[in-house]
A and B are shown apart, each in its own frame.
Chain A
Amino acid sequence: MSTVFARIPLWRDVRVLRIGAQVLFVLFIVLIANWFYTNLQINLERTGIRFGFDFLWTTAGFGISEGLPFEPTDSYGYAFWVGIVNTLRVIGLGILLATLLGLIAGIARLSSNWLVRQIASVYIETIRNTPLVVQLFFWYTAIFLKLPRVDESIVLPGPIYLSQRGLALPKPYATETFSLWGYGLLVSLLVALAVYVGRRIYLERAQRPGFAGLWAFGVFVLGAFVGWLVLPGAPIAWEMPTLGRFNLEGGWQLSPEFAALLAGLVVYTGAFIAEIVRGGILAVPKGQTEAARALGLRPLQVLRLVVIPQALRVIVPPLTSQYLNLAKNSSLAVAIGYPDLFNVANTIINQSGRAIEMVLLIMISYLTMSLLTSAFMNWYNRRVRLIER
């Protein structure tokens, strides 16, 4: 009985073949890599190009217009870090606002109102089909630079100054009573959490939808407000912007470069997100909406409880790539003078001549940001995904 089947020859044994194929594949990759590496060695020696990252600790010798405090006597490495932080600012805020805009435009494109629908589709079609660089130029030169000059700033109560040098707001800073207030905040946060949990349990029992988070938020705000009144002195004071010889000084300032980059990225990415949202909503079968209406849900509830959770499953994966695109597109900041990591790195390349090292650093920085974004979005995607039977 045991010898009915002849022993499978080695060259047809799937297990052996699998291992063999992989060994060959690795060999192939190693051969190519080795060839590249040998050439690199020869070429580096021939052209006398040095390679190393020690230059990052030498003095930068240039200034950066905004972001973390930076002096020309700081190092190249720190300059690059300032650039990374500036990039993160734009990406974080950009993702938030682009999602919001995309959601609005996507829903608007399905609106029953002719005008709203037309505006949404004209917006989407023009924005999606022109290069982003050109749009950034437009935002910067035709919108933000057309604001009044700094000595003729628009002054809003606050005082808030708005001029082509940017938006200057009063900046809060902590006084000595701030730590006391902080403890108060912590206590009200705990109370708010308790309220949230309690409310959730109640809603669950009562079998009805509701906003547990809203209640908790109200409790928290109330606690913070009462704490502020009880304390002898205000825990937070304001630093006012003032007009200096050339520029507004002090306060919290938002530069027009930042604003233009943010506006450009948000409007551009928003157009793509709008199409994704539209697709997602269309993918929810009409029967679902009708059934929800039949159950007596109000239109907003239909959207919130039935349509959006299902649409999210279709929306999230392509949304992730749009977030990644936004992150990568932020490198175009260099064209309009916002000191993001690519802009700063370019200056470093020009000055130190260390192109290869810096481009590697740029790639690694963007890669890290992209991977973190995709990791987060994948986690979120798993949460909203339909569990298939």
Chain B
Amino acid sequence: MRLIFRWLRENLFSTWYNTLLTVLVIWFLWVAFSGLFQWAVRDAVWSGGAAACQQARQLAQAEGRSWGACWTVIPENLKLFLAGTYPAGELWRIWVCVYISAAMLGLSAGVWRGLVRDVVVALGAAALVLLVLPFSWTERLWMFGIVLALVVPLGLRWVARSRIPRVRWILGGGWLALPILVVWLIGGGGPLPKVESTQWGGLMLTVLLAVIGIVASFPLGVLLALGRQSTLPIVRWFSILYIEIVRGVPLITVIFMASLMLPLFLPGHLRIDQALRAMIAFTLFTAAYIAENVRGGLQSISRGQIEAAQALGLSHWLTTLFIVLPQALRAVIPANVGQFISLFKDTSLVFVAALLDLFNIGRSILANPQWLGTDREVLLFVAFVYWVFTYAMAHLSRRLETILGVGER
């Protein structure tokens, strides 16, 4: 008890202005959150579907008071938020993608330990928390699978310690192949029935757009960064022109242009769908930012490294490939994670291309007469999902920064 008092006195009431500040903050929190509490918790409807919400609202309207949140809109439309209009019979394919990614992560945790293992533990814990929430038993079963997919490869690897040669190379290759595998699983083709990209949606589409955007823009970004450092004037000027133009315009206009103009630049029969157009827009846009990040990394390599490589007789290209780039890319990993976070948030702009990502599917749900007036609930939920993802990644990026020792020279 005394400890608590001491902590309070030292941290909150140490001086008169500190006390004043504390009181002000508490007052402000009360004002801001008491109304929110009434709406979000006290008066809220938690179950019973749309009918219960309408009933509660009509009652409140009749009594002339404000009504509470209608949280049932979230679980009732959960499938939409997660996968949009993806055909219900093919949903298992998305689960398989999640499992494969989880298994890869688990195996990587066995190989690399450290941060990856923490990530696996955090994800497993998150999946276990989801199990507690009121989902149906089949859904819980699917979710429990995630935990298994994470833990089993980790255990296997632990048992078979270093018995598999070159496991790191195989894993690295696996990670590179993963996006292609996922796109095939989700889009279909070959033995799998085709699912048009117009049917992709929800969180799945958001994640897919962000991941493919960052993966595809990386090589282009590195090339542009090298181009900007090049001694060939034409290549350099072209790179600078590209980077500066793209960085100078809002992403929303780039997506808009890609969704409307791209078909005009291609032959009539070569038709690419809206999702691909958005991905191309993200790739072209993000590449310019990655290029600038990588340039920062390139500049941080001391001249001594390059001179030493040249003294060893390495050619210009070998120096770049084996001495400069590995160090530069390592230095810019945190910056690129930051880029990925902002790309993830920016995918919400694909509504201008009529893609039903997490944000836009929310708008579709709000157009359902059953759920009219649940704007705040849907928006808050969508914002919350974005926040969970970006906050986790930001945290990860800070840990990475510490591990890689960036900024500690």
CB closest residue in chain A, given B265: A36
Kindly state the separation between the CA atoms of A42 and B270 in the bound complex, as whole angstroms: 13
Say yes or no: A367 contacts B232, CB within 8 Å: no
Interface string of B5-34 (1 = CB under 8 A from A): 000001110100010011001000000000
Which range holds the interface residue count of chain A? 35 or more
A334-380: which residues lie under 8 A (CB-CB) from chain B? Answer: 342, 355-356, 359, 362-363, 366-367, 370-371, 374
Say yes or no: A43 contacts B235, CB within 8 Å: no
A103-135: which residues lie under 8 A (CB-CB) from chain B? Answer: 113-116, 119, 125-126, 128-134
Say yes or no: B391 contacts A125, CB within 8 Å: yes
Interface assignment of B257: CB less than 8 Å from any CB of chain A:
yes
Say yes or no: A129 contacts B232, CB within 8 Å: no
Distance in angstroms from B141 CB to nearest chain A CB is: 31
Say yes or no: B263 contacts A43, CB within 8 Å: yes
Say yes or no: B386 contacts A131, CB within 8 Å: yes
Pick the residue among A125, A126, A131, A366 that contacts B345 (CB under 8 A).
Answer: A131
Say yes or no: A133 contacts B252, CB within 8 Å: no
CB closest residue in chain A, given B261: A356
Say yes or no: B382 contacts A134, CB within 8 Å: yes
| A residues near B345, Cβ cutoff 8 Å | 130-132
CB closest residue in chain B, given A329: B250
| A residues near B387, Cβ cutoff 8 Å | 126, 129-130
Kindly state the separation between the CA atoms of A46 and B165 in the bound complex, as whole angstroms: 59
Interface assignment of A313: CB less than 8 Å from any CB of chain B:
no
B247-298: which residues lie under 8 A (CB-CB) from chain A? Answer: 247-253, 256-257, 260-261, 263-268
Kindly state the separation between the CA atoms of A44 and B265 in the bound complex, as whole angstroms: 10
Say yes or no: B245 contacts A367, CB within 8 Å: yes
Kindly state the separation between the CA atoms of A137 and B11 in the bound complex, as whole angstroms: 34
Say yes or no: A363 contacts B234, CB within 8 Å: no
Say yes or no: A129 contacts B261, CB within 8 Å: no
| B residues near A328, Cβ cutoff 8 Å | 249-251
Interface assignment of B85: CB less than 8 Å from any CB of chain A:
no
Say yes or no: B253 contacts A362, CB within 8 Å: yes
Kindly state the separation between the CA atoms of A49 and B231 in the bound complex, as whole angstroms: 42
Interface assignment of A153: CB less than 8 Å from any CB of chain B:
no
Interface assignment of A174: CB less than 8 Å from any CB of chain B:
no
Distance in angstroms from B150 CB to nearest chain A CB is: 24
Say yes or no: A131 contacts B249, CB within 8 Å: no
Say yes or no: A359 contacts B383, CB within 8 Å: no
Interface assignment of A3: CB less than 8 Å from any CB of chain B:
no
Kindly state the separation between the CA atoms of A113 and B341 in the bound complex, as whole angstroms: 30
Pick the residue among A114, A130, A133, A366 that contacts B12 (CB under 8 A).
Answer: A114
| A residues near B390, Cβ cutoff 8 Å | 128-130
Interface assignment of A331: CB less than 8 Å from any CB of chain B:
yes
CB closest residue in chain B, given A118: B11
Kindly state the separation between the CA atoms of A37 and B253 in the bound complex, as whole angstroms: 21
Say yes or no: B268 contacts A42, CB within 8 Å: yes
Say yes or no: B253 contacts A359, CB within 8 Å: yes
Say yes or no: A115 contacts B248, CB within 8 Å: no
Distance in angstroms from A362 CB to nearest chain B CB is: 5
Interface assignment of A324: CB less than 8 Å from any CB of chain B:
yes
Distance in angstroms from A93 CB to nearest chain B CB is: 19
Pick the residue among B238, B379, B394 that contacts A129 (CB under 8 A).
Answer: B394
CB closest residue in chain B, given A36: B265
Interface string of B211-248 (1 = CB under 8 A from A): 00000000000000000000111110010000011011
Q: Indicate whether A363 sits within 8 Å of B267 (C-beta atoms), given known contacts A125-B391, A133-B348, A134-B379.
A: no
Pick the residue among A42, A46, A115, A125 that contacts B21 (CB under 8 A).
Answer: A115
Pick the residue among A46, A133, A371 that contacts B244 (CB under 8 A).
Answer: A371
Q: Indicate whether A40 sits within 8 Å of B248 (C-beta atoms), given known contacts A125-B391, A362-B253.
A: no
Say yes or no: A359 contacts B11, CB within 8 Å: no
Further pairs besides A131-B386, A370-B248: 8, Cβ < 8 Å: A18-B231, A130-B386, A131-B359, A134-B382, A283-B407, A328-B250, A363-B249, A371-B248
- Chain A residues within CB distance 8 Å of chain B: 18, 21-22, 25-26, 29, 36, 39-40, 42-44, 46-47, 49, 113-116, 119, 125-126, 128-134, 137, 279, 283, 321, 324, 328-329, 331, 342, 355-356, 359, 362-363, 366-367, 370-371, 374
The 3 A-B pairs of least Cβ separation, nearest first, read: A370-B248, A114-B11, A328-B250
23 contacts between A and B (CB under 8 A): A18-B231, A22-B232, A22-B233, A26-B234, A40-B265, A42-B267, A115-B12, A115-B25, A126-B387, A131-B345, A131-B348, A134-B386, A137-B379, A283-B407, A328-B249, A331-B250, A331-B252, A362-B250, A363-B253, A366-B253, A367-B249, A370-B249, A371-B248
